[in-house]
Structure 1
Amino acid sequence: MSKNILLIGGSHGIGLAMAKELAKDHSVFVASRTHGELNGSGITHITFDATNDELDVSRLPDEIHGFAYCPGTINLKPFKMLSLDTFKEDMEVNFFSLVKIVSAIMSKMAEKSSMVFFSTVAVETGMPFHTSVSAAKGAIEGFARSLAAEYAPKVRVNCIAPSLVDTPLAKRLLSNEKKQGLMAQRHPLKRVGRPEDIAQMALFLLSDKGTWITGQVLGVDGGISTLNVD
């Protein structure tokens, strides 16, 4: 069955990988600041800035069967170098904008629909220099579990917690071969993530194959959160 899928921030990285795959079988609506590589894809694009705009729900179908929120931040600095404003900005992009959009679309979510949010491996596994992003993503995990409980069985809500993924957001951390090699060696599977690695898990959770999964935080992280192979 063809579904209506809404992606916030689907013009780059993981969101783009999801949009391209979903568009093969479903009606996909991407709300993002730019078209990115979506031109000519058959995907409906809505110009939208998650932190500043109100989502125009009149441009969406009456029923939404799947939803994913993709915007995020990577502010990796020592705690002493982070201002309170940085924490507020990370919360705004990662969490408060998500809550605002979920509130706007919840009445459109169909029976047996699915929502997918994105966290980070650094919530479960404490990592230096991650205090701000971990705080924001931790809020998402708590929100997802509570929302899943409140809206079961109508709407399933799950989180994916990736490690480092080779996307435009992470370009500073992977800007040369030396950095890429060091980051790859940190992971038991000896590489950083690709957008498709994370997108495939999201697609599974949005599909009918994942209909007995809700309230979960699923690690897709090259083994870094659970394995020590040094």
Structure 2
Amino acid sequence: MQKTILITGVGKRIGLYLAKAFLVRGHRVIGTYRSHYPSIDALTELGAELYPCDFTDQTQLEALIQTLAQNYQQLDAVIHNASLWLSDDDTAGIDQVIAQMMKVHVYAPYQLNLALAQLLQNPETMTDIIHITDYVAQKGSKKHIAYAASKAALENMTLSFAAKLAPQVKVNAIAPALICFNEHDDAAYREKAKAKSLLAREGGEVEVLEAIDYLMRSQYVTGRSLALDGGRHLK
């Protein structure tokens, strides 16, 4: 059965992978992106319905919410994948670092969940909201304190929205550690990163897709965070 799935941050990496995978399966994919990469044109050619939106800009976010409310009558899933990664010593300044990451990881999902909750109400089946958080939401990070804090807030919102939107809408989180390297990552960095987990490997985007499949199929899981970390918590 075809589903209508909203995925934020589809321009690259996990978001791009998920959008392509759901399109290949014949689902209707709605996506948002901050920057226009060639991948955006490729997704459009595959049939994705895409909307530019910088989640650090409240005006753009409000315009997106209005557009979604006007153009769609029902959603089967909302996957909050959009992410911003800045270090605490970024040249933007500490006030901008925490503010921008809270906007992307907290304010935007919060507002989208509230605004789109009505579109997720389907009397015939359960629907889903899935927050992509991060391994550091539970562990913290000495070098990326603001990032970890914002992802922890997103993970906490999973609990609140699960309680608020039950029983019709399931709300869960996925907390990945190392999923895939960037092309420019050198061999030494890759080996050091892989050694941080028991399984000593990168998970691959398919691990996120399969976790999402599990959560969307489930009729009995809500308010939970599913760790994808290769046993990193035991190192």
**Same topology, TM > 0.5:** yes
Counterpart Cα distance in 1 of 2:31 and 2:89: 35
* Equivalent residue, structure 2, for 1:32: 33
Structure with bigger RCO (C-alpha 8 Å, 6+ apart): 1
Counterpart Cα distance in 2 of 1:137 and 1:37: 29
Between 3-12 and 31-40, the greater mean CA deviation after superposition: 31-40
**TM-score of the superposition, structure 2-length normalised?**
0.85
* Equivalent residue, structure 1, for 2:218: 210
Indicate the SS of the match to 2:29. strand
**Cα pair 1:18 1:203 within 8 Å, conserved:** no
What whole-Å deviation, never above 9, does each CA across 1:10-47 have from its counterpart, x for those lacking one?
23111111111212131111122331641421222223
Counterpart Cα distance in 1 of 2:53 and 2:88: 29
Work out whether 1:224 is the aligned partner of 2:232: yes
What whole-Å deviation, never above 9, does each CA across 1:77-124 have from its counterpart, x for those lacking one?
579x97132111111111111112222212211321100001111121
* Equivalent residue, structure 2, for 1:146: 160
- 1:70, distance to aligned residue in structure 2 (A): 0.9
* Equivalent residue, structure 2, for 1:159: 173
Q: Which has the higher helix share?
A: 2
Between 53-62 and 216-225, the greater mean CA deviation after superposition: 53-62
**Cα pair 1:18 1:200 within 8 Å, conserved:** no
- 1:193, distance to aligned residue in structure 2 (A): 3.0
- 1:48, distance to aligned residue in structure 2 (A): 2.6
Gaps of 5+ in 2: none
* Equivalent residue, structure 1, for 2:199: 189
* Equivalent residue, structure 2, for 1:15: 15
Instruction: Report runs of 4+ in structure 1 exceeding 3 Å deviation.
Output: 76-79
Pick from 48, 51, 55: which aligns with 2:53? 48
**TM-score of the superposition, structure 1-length normalised?**
0.86
* Equivalent residue, structure 2, for 1:68: 79
- 1:148, distance to aligned residue in structure 2 (A): 0.3
Gaps of 5+ in 1: none
- 1:60, distance to aligned residue in structure 2 (A): 3.6
**Cα pair 1:67 1:116 within 8 Å, conserved:** yes
Pick from 94, 97, 104: which aligns with 1:86? 97
Q: In structure 2, give the amino acid aligned to 1:103.
A: L
Q: In structure 2, give the amino acid aligned to 1:5.
A: I
* Equivalent residue, structure 2, for 1:105: 116
Q: What number of residue pairs does the alignment pair up?
A: 220
- 1:4, distance to aligned residue in structure 2 (A): 1.0
Counterpart Cα distance in 2 of 1:40 and 1:47: 16
Indicate the SS of the match to 1:51. coil
Indicate the SS of the match to 2:194. helix
**Cα pair 2:88 2:143 within 8 Å, conserved:** yes
